[in-house]
Amino acid sequence: MNSLSVKDLCKTYIINKRQNNVLRNINMEIKEGEMVSVMGPSGSGKSTLLYAVSGMDDITAGRVNFFGKDMSDLNSSQMSSLRLNEMGFIFQQMYMLKNLSIYDNIILPAYQSAQNKGREKRKEINNRAKELMHKLGISEIAEHDINEVSGGQLQRACICRSLINNPKMIFADEPTGALNQQNSKEVMKELNRINAEGTTIMLVTHDMKVAAKSDRVLYLEDGNIKGEYNFGKYTDAQESRERERKLSNWLMEMGF
């Protein structure tokens, strides 16, 4: 089954009365459990594509189908519910609410989702949050303020938040873009683990090392998908180099 199916997607911005077609007739599909990276030069429309297919941004034309639901048919409240319960978002900048601790930031969407479900449900949420933080190795920073932790820890906290409601799919916009190599590795390890557990992931990246760990890479140029490279499931860290090399060659062919 397809997690995401995109048909004839167009996105146009009007800037100073000039039309700027950022996405032009995009057609793509992402299967359930798949991890897909989107690469391309700056300004090619990668982030716009991510935001458009995740319902974060309006589309000019076309249709986006998310787990069988046509997103064009959903109203604002249904879209909110979809984002809350079935989607997870990870941004390049580790956006969190300043007035809340790391832990409270993580559980906030779950509390919102379960606001009428009583004390027991909140206990469940807390257990899940602790388990997720433990898995991602950030248990010790739970009560910290967001300014008191490293970028890697913060991004892992953002991943925890995106997973707290057991989403069907995660959208990640340059999840390692603001991290150093070590932190970047750790974050990708977590994303691969999550994907291995069955969560579909679509991510935008500039980093070949990151993209090489996904099942498939889409190459975007001037608002069009110019090509795609299918690796198959990433299983072993040892094959990383080989995947990176293959990807590098392919990207050179694409003109990256």
Footprint of another protein (CB under 8 A): 51, 56-57, 76-77, 80-85, 87, 89, 91, 93, 95-101, 103-104, 107-109, 111-113, 115, 119, 122, 126, 129, 143-145, 147-148, 161, 165
Q: How far is the CB of 247 from another protein (least distance, A)?
A: 28
Nearer to another protein, 82 or 194 (CB): 82
Q: How far is the CB of 236 from another protein (least distance, A)?
A: 34
| Among 60, 59, 110, residue whose Cα is nearest residue 84 | 110
Nearer to another protein, 10 or 100 (CB): 100
Q: How far is the CB of 127 from another protein (least distance, A)?
A: 11
β-strand partners of 210: none
CA-CA distance, 123 to 143, in Å (whole number)? 17
Alpha helices in 62-207 (DSSP H): 76-85, 102-113, 118-135, 151-163, 181-196
Nearer to another protein, 61 or 97 (CB): 97
Nearer to another protein, 58 or 73 (CB): 58
Nearer to another protein, 204 or 247 (CB): 204
Is residue 114 within 8 A of residue 164, CB to CB? The reply is no
Q: How far is the CB of 104 from another protein (least distance, A)?
A: 4
Burial of 118 by CB count in 10 Å (0-12 exposed, 13-18 middle, 19+ buried)?
A: exposed
| Among 79, 137, 146, residue whose Cα is nearest residue 108 | 146
Is residue 144 within 8 A of residue 133, CB to CB? The reply is no
Q: How far is the CB of 107 from another protein (least distance, A)?
A: 6
